Structure 1
Amino acid sequence: MQILSIEELEIECSLSDGKENIPITYLLASDHAVISTNSFLAEIIRNLQLQVVKVIKSAIKGNLVAGQTINCVFIEGFNFLKESDYQKYIRIDRRKEGLDITTSETKMKDIHKIYADGSYADETKQSGYSGFIENPDGTQQIFHRSFINGNSNLMELLAVLDGLQRLQSVEKIQVNTDSRFVIRGLVQWVHFWKFNNWQTAYGREVKFAKYWQQIEPLCEGKLIEFKWIKGHSGNEKQDFCHQMAGECARNSDGDFTTI
């Protein structure tokens, strides 16, 4: 995508497949992309309009300038999560080729469950995460780690990574987390980052790229159900992970890894 001009209310750009250039006008006030050309490629881009808008908005965060070229990756049939989806069970099925992302009001049965949380303590400049695995047969497993430095988002990601590593042989998994950052990353953004050489739309390395690169293959061949749990909402198992992660971040004893 080539950025042609940037005005107060609109951005003019051009999207090319190497053979044809499609002019696009992004209207900031309405958060809408206008594609006036009529062609086969234009129709494809029109159907991917939400993804086009997401790319432009992401690029704006990177101090967009006229003349800039943005590397774009679009996935046909891909739908981004809506706010209401976080009240449901979000499923991504990667057992077959392609991406199948759906939501449901009801959870899957007989499934391995991961509860995960992460924390950072300003007073100690330490971070930590904790996880809780509940298997269909009733057996349970608790895991946790402490780190020097780090931050809450990274700990949330590492907690889920650790849980998935422990369930590598399992096909159906439910991930419970209070982190929309992790859910959005694994359900939405990781697929675009992977095809864009782990760079954002404006050419910067994805934050925590090496950990996203570790966790993404763990989702291949699996049906993973994500459940967002609001923090401090009374979910006993999630609250347990929250408390344990906080203790890992505040504790001055034990083994610490520098991150």
Structure 2
Amino acid sequence: MKMFIFSMEIVEDIKEKYKIKIEGKQGVAHVFFSPKIKELEFIENNEMSRYLKENEYQFRKILHNKRQDTFYKGFKLTFAFRDKKDVAAFNDRSKIVVLDKRYNRIDSYVVEKGEKNIYKIFTDGTFLEKKNTGAYAVIIEDINHNYSVHTEKTAIKGSSQIELCAAIKGIELIKDVDKICIITDSQYVRKGLTEWIMCWKLNGWKTANGEKVKNIENWIKFDKLTDGKYIEFHWVKGHSNHFENTLCDIYARESASLSLENFKY
């Protein structure tokens, strides 16, 4: 999928409406945007403006994800669009999102059905607030349908971060396998590596708000571990009687309930 990189700068503040300059391969365009009412106005009718309109959903998503207090004159951001991205498909949780980092390229796209002969990583993580402890579980299913289970206790606080650690551990456990399907109930893991990470890296691991990405070390590790691999991300709803996901949840909770000694980070 072809990617285009752009830079934007807020050049004027006019009573809660901001004039933004966008520059890229297609030229330069200016827009007005009001973060309070989410109103977007294209000023020129040139090639860049037309391209932004064609990809308005992606453009709006960047603007909408910024907090109101991070709109100010002088703010700069670099971002990327997937040309003619099928936004609806990427947002459809029933679809499988593919990250293909083989052949010295990076591509992401959506498929209806995944590969048949592929290693599967099932993950889940939990953080027990009352005990102030967390853990994750990873189930590996190889192409011969043999299962192996790994659980690990962690001092990390927060379910999303623990889910990320579970996915990383799964990749590490089968590091020599280049075609993998990750089955997870975490949108943080699924979208982070297939959609968000590109803009984070373009901005020195900062978000659209200009703030440091949380869990940078783990995201960098996850990114490097997946180099050269074909990864399918299959999202499942948590606590929906999906067998392996439910089993991971049980193992993770049991592990988190054990002694506080010997935490893994």
TM-score w.r.t. structure 1 length?
0.87
> Cα gap change, 1:253/1:22 in structure 2, threshold over 3 Å: closer, same or farther?
closer
1:134 to 133, 137, 141: 141
For structure 2, which runs of at least 5 residues remain unmatched after alignment?
Answer: 1-7
Aligned-pair identity in percent equals 25
Residue in 1 aligned with 2:13? 5
Closer/same/farther in 2, CA of residues 30 and 20 from structure 1, 3 Å limit: same
CA distance in 2, matches of 1:87, 1:256: 35
Q: Which of 184, 208, 212 does residue 205 from structure 1 map onto?
A: 212
Match for residue 193 of structure 2?
A: 186
Instruction: Kindly indicate which of the two structures has a greater share of residues assigned to strand.
Output: 2
The runs of 4+ residues in structure 1 deviating greater than 4 Å are: 17-21, 27-32, 80-84
Q: Does the 8 Å CA contact 2:183/2:236 hold for their aligned counterparts? A: yes
2:203 to 193, 196, 200: 196
Q: Report the residue type matching 2:92 in the other structure.
A: D
1:7 CA displacement: 4.7
Q: Structure 1 residues 188 and 84, CA, compared in 2 at 3 Å: closer, same or farther? A: closer
SS of aligned partner of 1:206: coil
Question: Unmatched 5+ residue regions in structure 1?
Answer: none
Tell me the CA shift for residue 244 of structure 1: 0.9
Match of 1:113 among 89, 101, 120: 120
Instruction: Name which of 61, 74, 77 aligns with 2:80.
Output: 74
1:143 shift after superposition: 1.1
Structure 1 residue identity aligned to 2:175: Q
Q: Aligned residue for 1:39?
A: 46
* Whole-Å separation in 2 of the counterparts to 1:32 and 1:76: 23
- 1:48-197 map, 5 Å: 48-60=55-67, 63-77=69-83, 79=85, 80=87, 85-197=92-204
Determine the C-alpha separation between the residues in 1 that align with 2:38 and 2:231: 31
Q: Cα 1:177–1:230, aligned 2, differ >3 Å: closer, same or farther? A: same
SS in 2 for 1:86: coil
1:16 aligned partner: 23
* CA distances 1:49-79 after superposition (whole Å, capped 9, x unpaired): 3333222223226x22431312222144273
- Root-mean-square deviation (Å): 2.7
Paired amino acid for 2:231: I
**Residue 130 to residue 5, structure 1, CA distance change in 2 (3 Å):** same
TM-score where L is the length of structure 2: 0.85
